[in-house]
Each structure stands twice: as structure tokens, then as C-alpha cells.
Chain A
Amino acid sequence: MTRRYEIVYIFNSAVEEAQVDQTLERFHALLKSEENPEPIRNVNHWGKRTLAYSIGSNEIGYYVVTQFATDPTLLPEFERLVKLEESVIRYQIVLNEGEVPVPAPLPDTSDGEKPSDGGPSKPDADPSKGGGPKDEEGTNEEN
């Protein structure tokens, strides 16, 4: 089962853009699987920004926000590699299941099918709430 995630990378500002692209490509190759050959939905380069506080000796970071959909079992290995990469000064992965699904259609499809597999029970369905998805958030400190 694939789930949708969003990752924010903060790269060292000294790293060049071409190198950032290369690194991202390497990371994103890890998220591919047979049933999901195109995991990346959107890559958004925010560019250089001043950090709200210094991380190590960095005052400026190069931000990249990526939305992807992948199997959760692939994430630990992916995170391990992101952590090892020295040009990434920080990252954060959050579940990004989009807007809160409208609950109306559910009662109509009363064919006995239950939304069992992580399905939209109310607290889980809301990505930006603390509730269920919290444990999957990458709350990792700097590399």
C-alpha cells in the first residue's frame, strides 16, 4: 500500500544546484518499486533562504520540498541515506494525505466494505493533526 508523503530538505547553501539535483535523483531512486515506478509527484525548489536559527554553522539553507507516494516499508532505508548525506543539513518527512476527505460518500457505498487499511477514520485522515501519523514524522535532528 502506498501512502503520500511530503519531505522538506534543507541543503547546505554552499552546494550548487546541479549537485542538489544529482543528490535528489539518487534519493528518489530509492523510493521506486515495481508497482510504483513513478513515486515522485512534485519537486519544488524554494531556493536559498535565511534560516530562523543557525543549524550548526549554517545561517542560510537551500530548501527543496518534494511530494511523493511510496510504500512505508521503503522509508527507513531512504531516511538512512538522507541522514548520511552531508550536504543535507536537515530534513523532515510528514504524511501528506491531502485535504480532509469529505465524509459524505462513505455511507452511500454500503457494500459491506470497511475502510480498514489505514483508511479514513477521522483522526488519521487529517494529515496536519498530531494524531495517528505522528510517529512517521521525521523528527530527526541535524545530520
Chain B
Amino acid sequence: MRRTRKTCPVCEMGVRVVDYKDERTLQRFITDRGKILPRRLSGTCARHQRQLGTAIKRARHIALLPFIRTTA
């Protein structure tokens, strides 16, 4: 049996354009290490995944998000 398709969490938030300054939202879409979560895990739609990718990279550049987080 096929699983029901996940719905895009960004669409559900009612956000049309992802803001790179909103680090709290972006935090949800990166791993503990700071990598961008793939679509198959986050369930975002293609449009928002593209936007998230750009936004996370921009947020990294202005030190809102880490490039990498080393844990212990």
C-alpha cells in the first residue's frame, strides 16, 4: 500500500516566500549538524525546497545559521 503523500510544511504555514532572516523557521529544515534536510525527509514541495536551499545558504553567510555544528 502506498503511503499518503506528506504535505509541504512551508505551504501549511501559509508562507509563500521563505525569508532568509527567519532563522527559527529555517532551523527546522536543517539537521543537527547543520546540513540542509532533503525533501524526502522534510516533505517540502519543490518550490519551497528550492527557496529553503537559497535561504539557508544566505542565513549561513550572515552567521544566523552554522555551516557545520560539531557536537561533542
Contacts and interface: CB of A to CB of B under 8 A. Distances in A.
Interface of A: 8, 10, 51-53, 55, 61, 63, 65, 90, 92, 94, 99-100, 126-130, 137, 139
B54 A129 contact: yes
A8 B18 CA distance: 16
Contacts of B50: 129-130
Contacts of A92: 58, 61-62
Interface residues of B, number: 20
A53 B55 contact: no
The majority secondary structure among interface residues of chain B is: loop
Interface of B: 16-21, 50-51, 53-55, 58, 60-67
Contacts of B21: 8, 65
Contact of A52 (B17, B18, B65): B65
A55 B64 CA distance: 12
Q: Which of A10, A127, A128 has the most CB of B within 10 A?
A: A128
Nearest to B66: A52
The majority secondary structure among interface residues of chain A is: strand
A8 B17 contact: no
B22 to A, nearest CB: 11
B62 A128 contact: no
13 contacts: A53-B66, A61-B63, A65-B21, A90-B62, A94-B20, A94-B58, A127-B17, A128-B20, A128-B54, A128-B55, A129-B54, A130-B54, A137-B58
A73 B42 CA distance: 40
Contact of B53 (A8, A10, A94, A130): A130
Contacts of B67: 53
